[in-house]
């Protein structure tokens, strides 16, 4: 068994059927799904498709966006996302928590609302058997995408709730820079809070659209050895996703992208897992 | 007396004489200098120019770049920068510590070299009466400019040395995102480690050249009230610099830029200082 999982965002322009076919053809055993292509293909149909293909579903992306002053709509949307995660047989719903509401500069208040909203969702997560995985994003996204920027901060929130309901995402791209990253990975593991480990590289120079500055492991400047050893040392045994936002990769042939993702994982990540 | 200081990088294309003239004409009492324009005009001539203009020199930018495996050249360069800082009558030399050396992915090792190099420079700083100010830069610059990304990390290094020799820069643009920013400002103040407070805003979307995404206070998404109150609460009484890298501002008429910088400071920063 390989623990490698291809996140379908790496094949951005593939629909679900193509993404599943390419993943299976590449000899990959697990896939990370996104809500939009799943909705397009149909939830029940998507669940059947991945099941019939023999794939595990490592996570569903994405819930979150919980920072609005009125979060009624966001809570409803996240409840639907939790149900979808369960229906797909995925253990984890990835949460990108949201940035500042229009006109606001209050990061502290936004963070409090994230914590409160997650608290509202915990009963749903427990009932569905789904882990809500708070994903700290790189601080360059703090105002527009995620007011949670560090693993320590994500854990400060997660630890207020049941470990089976709220965990964190360890994504190399977002947290490799953090001087506290290794002790915080250990802390996450000790509390059984690692809900997902995601690997992609930090390409320089930063792309003009800073969302798209990710690369295959090995193409950028991240030390995958130290991060992977730290994750492995916690006893984390789940799938490991490769999720790359990169225009050149998105414009490449899908089969090659899947193969290259797995090769990079086998070369730079897998050797440090045992 | 106003504590506002115009960093001359805000007037990137002005030589030293023009920058000094524009600063004085705008009724500003202090200026932050850069080594290159000072060298161009001459060190002794520059010192005389600012003294005759009646300006304080709040800091000299910049020393640092201490992460090379062989730091002999960097140490020599920083010793010259310390001497220049003293000759200009400035209390502070700002250090941008440097990114990863070519081909390296070892952030931990690079950070150790920064600490060791600063230790080598401490006797020179003490002898010259100059404070070395470690500037944490936003984590988007971690690989190419500064392996020190947070105020906490800068303080962990600074606190290993005499407080009169090594301090930190509190720059709103670089640290506003940090969930630990307020307690770390308090910690910096308690240890008498705030060597410089710099204000500029975080403009969104991030500029295609991410170095240039700064704005006048008020143009972006930073809450200057909470940060300035935290700095003021420490008892910091030094000058407060406005240093903006922004192509549109660089291309604007200098007198207007100086006036607008001071207005932004008077409106958004000064009210929270007392």
Mean pLDDT by 10 residues, chain A (274 residues): 96 97 98 98 98 98 97 98 98 98 97 98 98 98 98 98 98 98 98 98 94 97 98 98 97 98 98 93
- What tens digit of pLDDT does each residue of B104-153 get? 999 999 999 999 999 999 999 999 999 999 999 999 999 999 999 999 99
The tally of CA atoms less than 13 A away on the side-chain side of residue A37 is 21
Average pLDDT over every residue of B175-188: 98
Which residue in A has a C-alpha nearest to residue B175's C-alpha? A139
Kind and range of the H or E run holding B145: none
**CB-based contact (8 Å) between A208 and chain B?**
yes
CA dihedral angle for residue B269, residue B272, residue B273, residue B274, rounded to 10 degrees: 150
**Strand B30-34 to B4-7 pairing:** parallel
The number of residues making up chain A comes to 274
Residues 6+ apart with CB under 8 A from B266: B4
Backbone φ and ψ for B156, nearest 5 degrees, come out as -55, -35
Angle A199-A204-A208 (CA atoms, 0-180°, nearest 5)? Answer: 105
Tokens describing residue B72: 């002999």
Q: What is the pTM of this model?
A: 0.97
| Residue B261: predicted pLDDT | 98
What number of helices (H) and strands (E) belong to chain A? 11, 10
**CB-based contact (8 Å) between A177 and chain B?**
yes
Distance (Å) from the C-alpha of residue B51 to the closest C-alpha of chain A? 39
Q: Best residue in A137, A179, A183, A208 to probe B by mutation, most B CBs within 10 Å? A: A179
Option in B138, B179, B202 nearest A111 (CB):
B179
| Residue B274: predicted pLDDT | 81
- What tens digit of pLDDT does each residue of A111-126 get? 999 999 999 999 999 9
Which residue in B has a C-alpha nearest to residue A209's C-alpha? B208
Distance (Å) from the C-alpha of residue B8 to the closest C-alpha of chain A? 26
**CB-based contact (8 Å) between A206 and chain B?**
yes
What are the DSSP E strand ranges found in A15-90?
A: 30-34, 56-64
Q: Does the beta-carbon distance from B204 to A144 stay under 8 Å?
A: yes
Q: Does the beta-carbon distance from B140 to A144 stay under 8 Å?
A: no
Confidence of residue B247 (pLDDT cuts 50, 70, 90): very high
CA distance A136 to A51: 30
Residue B212, SS3 per DSSP = helix
What are the DSSP E strand ranges found in B49-202?
A: 56-64, 92-96, 131-134, 166-171, 194-198, 201-202
| Residue B101: predicted pLDDT | 97
Residues 6+ apart with CB under 8 A from B41: B15, B16, B17, B49
| Residue B191: predicted pLDDT | 95
Write out chain B residues lying below 8 Å of A153, CB-based.
179
CB B197 within 8 A of CB B170: yes
**CB-based contact (8 Å) between B193 and chain A?**
no
The interface predicted TM-score (ipTM) is: 0.96
- Provide the β-strand partners of residue A60: A33, A93
| Residue B24: predicted pLDDT | 98
| Residue A274: predicted pLDDT | 81
**CB-based contact (8 Å) between A247 and chain B?**
no
Q: Does the beta-carbon distance from A179 to B150 stay under 8 Å?
A: yes
Confidence of residue B65 (pLDDT cuts 50, 70, 90): very high
């Amino acid at each position: 068994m390989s623990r490698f999982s291809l996140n379908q965002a790496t094949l951005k322009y593939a629909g679900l059927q193509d993404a599943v076919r390419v993943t299976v053809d590449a000899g990959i055993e697990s896939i990370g799904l996104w809500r939009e292509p799943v909705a397009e293909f149909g939830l029940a149909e998507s669940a059947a498709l991945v099941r019939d293909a023999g794939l595990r579903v490592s996570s569903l992306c994405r819930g979150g966006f919980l920072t609005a002053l009125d979060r009624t709509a966001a809570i409803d949307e996240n409840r639907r996302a939790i149900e979808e995660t369960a229906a797909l047989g995925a253990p984890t719903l990835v949460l990108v928590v949201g940035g500042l509401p229009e006109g606001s500069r209050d990061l502290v208040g936004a963070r409090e609302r994230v914590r409160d909203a997650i608290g509202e969702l915990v009963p749903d997560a427990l009932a569905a058997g789904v882990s809500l995985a708070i994903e700290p994003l790189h601080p360059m996204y703090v105002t527009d995408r995620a007011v949670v920027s560090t693993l320590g901060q994500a854990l400060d929130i997660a630890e207020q709730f049941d470990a089976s309901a709220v965990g964190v995402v360890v994504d190399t791209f977002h947290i490799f820079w953090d001087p506290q990253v290794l002790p915080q990975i250990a802390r996450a593991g000790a509390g059984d809070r690692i809900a997902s480990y995601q690997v992609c590289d930090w390409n320089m120079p930063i792309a003009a659209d800073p969302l798209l500055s990710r690369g295959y492991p090995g193409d950028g400047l991240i030390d995958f050895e130290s991060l992977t050893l730290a994750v492995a040392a916690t006893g984390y045994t789940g799938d490991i996703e490769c999720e790359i936002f990169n225009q050149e990769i998105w414009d490449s042939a899908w089969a090659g992208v899947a193969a290259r993702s797995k090769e990079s994982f086998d070369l730079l990540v897998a050797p440090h897992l045992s």
